[in-house]
Structure 1
Amino acid sequence: MTWYRAMDTNGARRLSINTRPTLQMGAIDGRSDNEFEDESLVSPTSLPSNNCHSEAGSQNSPYLGRGQQFDLSSLKNDILRSLKIVLFSAKINILMPCGPAAILVKYMTGHHGWVFFLSLLGIIPLAERLGFATEQLAFFTGPTVGGLLNATFGNATELIISIFALKSGMIRVVQQSLLGSILSNMLLVLGCAFFSGGIVFSKKYQVFNKAAATVNSGLLLMAVMGLLFPAVLHFTRTEVHFGKSELALSRFSSGVMLVAYASYIVFQLKSHNNSYDSINEEESQNDEDDEVQISKCEAIIWLAIVTIGISFLSEYLVDAIEGASNAWNMPIAFISVILLPIVGNAAEHASAIMFAMKDKLDISLGVAIGSSTQISMFGIPFCVVIGWIMGQPMDLNFQLFETATLFITVLVVAFMLQDGTSNYFKGVMLILCYLIVAASFYVHVDPTSELNPPQG
């Protein structure tokens, strides 16, 4: 999910259209004949506009009597309705029991391989529900605040896992998992979207907003620059103070990248948002899924609950990485770069493919390239700053192999996007490129990782 997808400026207008009829129905249903004499007491205009129950599902939360006393039965109905929407409306939620199962396996058997696997599966539905709650909240906050919320929570799963890994001193796991998130979005997610859309619309070229793709490509190249210079400085041994200049440069560059990302948000929301208006209008008119389903208060509560759940499982996930690597005889680099990002981006994978098959390729690019931009220009610098606060020497030196992989990937994707069209063959090429990357990391041994020392 990318941030500007949820910043539909028509969301507020759609809410104002749908709210009034709902409130009118709530004022009529379940009332006796003599209650119509006091119609003015429960008219839509008399209900508080900021009340949780008047924002969504108001037909189940009437106010009773002249004193408008709160109905506890309506609160129960609202809670049940919210639970039904959040926990049972998405088919992927069938994986939620995997989270408690991981905890049971941890304390009953201590098998790190199964703990890691079950934690991965348990995080998938939580990550999808986190995106859902953020999108619902964006309907009430408006485009600017909604954009900031989605920028923060859009890749919250990866950031939460990274923070727990930083806390444990696993700096290389943090670097490689964030790198893997960028690679999976740019190659696997975008490739699957191009391929699926190309198969469905095989008789024509699908088109997308080339200007928006160019801006994102430029930001990704800037991120490559930020990662390339510390790596080159390290491997050429041209630092003024060896081991210190590299870290200082990383922290300075991270601050610059965060400023650049903040400017990017302002650029899209304020200065040049006209280029996205037509996309958002078409999306709001044609996409029936973009509608308010829960209230503002409910969205905030669920956002907190799901974030806590992801944080809880992430701790078990990080603790089991080393044991899973030994149990599966699999390099930690492969687990960090390939497995973790695929799970963290599972919901985004499905969204990008779905929109491409509906011939809404601009949204698919927003999901894939937009998420890569968030991680590279916000997620990575953010982790450097958090590591600085924690006293961990997190830097932008991702090592030569990883930096070269990112550089080549950005160049390949930039060439794919330069003409503003897509087809299934471009999707095949991107997917095959990702398979090459995955195979490369499967045979790659990270010489700087304390968790995965060189073999033989």
Structure 2
Amino acid sequence: MDRLFFLLTAIGIPLSIIGNFLHFPALILFIIYCLTIIGLASYIGRATESLAIISGPSIGGLLNATFGNAVELIISFFALQEGLVNVVMASLTGSIIGNLLLVGGLSILFGGFKYKRQQFNIHDAAHNAGIMVFSLIVSFVFPAVFAAKMDVHSIKFLSTVISCIMILIYLFSLVFRLVTHRGVYKMQQDNISVILEEEHPEWGKGRSMLILAVTTVVVALISERLVGTIEPVGEQLGWSELFIGIIIVAIVGNAAEHASAVLMAVKNRIDIAVEISVGSTLQIAMFVAPVLVLISWGFQTFMPLVFPVTELIAMALAAILTISITADGDTNWFEGAMLLAAYVIMGFGFFLL
């Protein structure tokens, strides 16, 4: 898998430069940019994990919170800059249903093909389920319920207050897991090497920082170009901004992490696969979305925490289905198939919208 990400990066970066210089068609550039970002995301994740192991659990938790969804944040930043608020909100929705249904479904399905039953800690599942319900209700459902009776300024104020509180609660959750209750609940891990290498960093501190800095800059440059191709590609293929955000952008921003989860499940570490699926969802709801709300104050178009009803229902159904399947701490391939079926159905629904 690492070789694949290397090839995507090594081939994608030169093609991105050449394609931009020679003005390749928007669709070709869109594909090149997406594949290149997927490859670069792998290096951001590996560099972050190496620094997290070197720095220790407390600093490592903050690094994972900051860079765990760095690609998603970078793409969304440039989309907000271009005023594509609908694309950003759709990508947040897509990340949540993608993490829960697509990643969770693929992990359980492929793991279930190799092992008839895979089990994980039921107490961890219950703990994560409680945080997930809280984060989705407070971050997304609550603002939508009250927005109908508020003016624009009140919605902005409410969204900002909720965002600040959710970021604070997310930092509290890191302190809870990594300091006050470390060892009581297993620390979330987002990379295979932490488990297989017994927490030996893949790269040293200096190399990790250099790779992280360079890769982040390159991702930012390519993401800016990617955002510029969204509208022409949508017009050419007849895809709505909603579909592009929920399916395409969401998958591109989380592809490397998705691959890690599936590989963990195949190695009979379904507990880590579930942690990646649910943990990334919590990051989106409690950290990424609130940060984007605060960032949007610097642009002409503000991004409120008010999602359309269809997207709210999709996120709620994804959370309910995931909780119902993982509540017993036991999975099999058929449960993975159900999660994937739900994702495909939702994907078709958003495509037809």
Same-fold status (TM-score > 0.5): yes
1:214 is aligned to 2:126 = yes
What is the deviation of 1:261?
Answer: 0.7
User: Residues 136 and 106 of structure 1: is their aligned pair in 2 closer, same or farther, counting only changes over 3 Å?
Assistant: same
Match of 2:144 in 1: 231
The unaligned stretches of length 5 or more in structure 2 are none
Match of 2:57 in 1: 143
What is the deviation of 1:290?
Answer: 5.0
Q: More displaced, 317-326 or 218-227?
A: 218-227
- Matched length: 349
Report the structure, 1 or 2, having the larger helix content: 2
Retained in 1: the 8 A contact 2:194–2:200? no
What is the deviation of 1:309?
Answer: 0.9
Pick 1 or 2: higher relative contact order, CA cutoff 8 A, min separation 6.
2
The secondary structure found in structure 2 opposite 1:244 is helix
Q: Partners of 1:132 and 1:430 in 2: how far apart?
A: 28
The secondary structure found in structure 1 opposite 2:83 is coil
Taking the TM superposition and a 5 Å limit, the aligned residue runs for 1:372-391 are 372-390=281-299
Q: TM-score, normalised by structure 2?
A: 0.93
Q: Partners of 2:187 and 2:75 in 1: how far apart?
A: 36
User: Residues 94 and 278 of structure 1: is their aligned pair in 2 closer, same or farther, counting only changes over 3 Å?
Assistant: closer
Match of 1:338 in 2: 247
The secondary structure found in structure 2 opposite 1:275 is coil
Paired-residue identity, %: 36
What is the deviation of 1:394?
Answer: 1.0
Q: Partners of 2:2 and 2:322 in 1: how far apart?
A: 35
Larger Rg: 1
1:392 equivalent among 282, 301, 316: 301
What is the deviation of 1:438?
Answer: 0.6
User: Residues 383 and 298 of structure 1: is their aligned pair in 2 closer, same or farther, counting only changes over 3 Å?
Assistant: same
What is the deviation of 1:111?
Answer: 1.7
Retained in 2: the 8 A contact 1:99–1:121? no
1:312 is aligned to 2:225 = no
The secondary structure found in structure 2 opposite 1:273 is coil
What is the deviation of 1:221?
Answer: 1.6
Match of 1:91 in 2: 4
Retained in 2: the 8 A contact 1:102–1:116? no
Post-superposition CA distance 1:398-423 (Å, at most 9, x none): 11111111111111111112111111
Give the letter aligned to residue 277 of structure 2: A
What is the deviation of 1:285?
Answer: 9.7
Match of 1:60 in 2: none
Match of 1:122 in 2: 36
The unaligned stretches of length 5 or more in structure 1 are 1-87, 445-456
Q: TM-score, normalised by structure 1?
A: 0.73
Post-superposition CA distance 1:384-404 (Å, at most 9, x none): 011124453111011111111
2:170 equivalent among 236, 261, 268: 261
CA RMSD of aligned residues (A): 2.1
User: Residues 98 and 285 of structure 1: is their aligned pair in 2 closer, same or farther, counting only changes over 3 Å?
Assistant: closer
1:437 is aligned to 2:346 = yes
Q: Partners of 2:195 and 2:90 in 1: how far apart?
A: 38
Q: Partners of 1:101 and 1:284 in 2: how far apart?
A: 30
Give the letter aligned to residue 347 of structure 1: A
Q: Partners of 2:79 and 2:112 in 1: how far apart?
A: 39
The secondary structure found in structure 2 opposite 1:169 is coil
What is the deviation of 1:289?
Answer: 7.8
Q: Partners of 1:230 and 1:89 in 2: how far apart?
A: 41
What is the deviation of 1:230?
Answer: 2.3
User: Residues 294 and 400 of structure 1: is their aligned pair in 2 closer, same or farther, counting only changes over 3 Å?
Assistant: same
The secondary structure found in structure 1 opposite 2:152 is coil
Give the letter aligned to residue 137 of structure 1: L
What is the deviation of 1:267?
Answer: 0.9
Structure 1 ranges of 4+ moved more than 6 A? 283-286
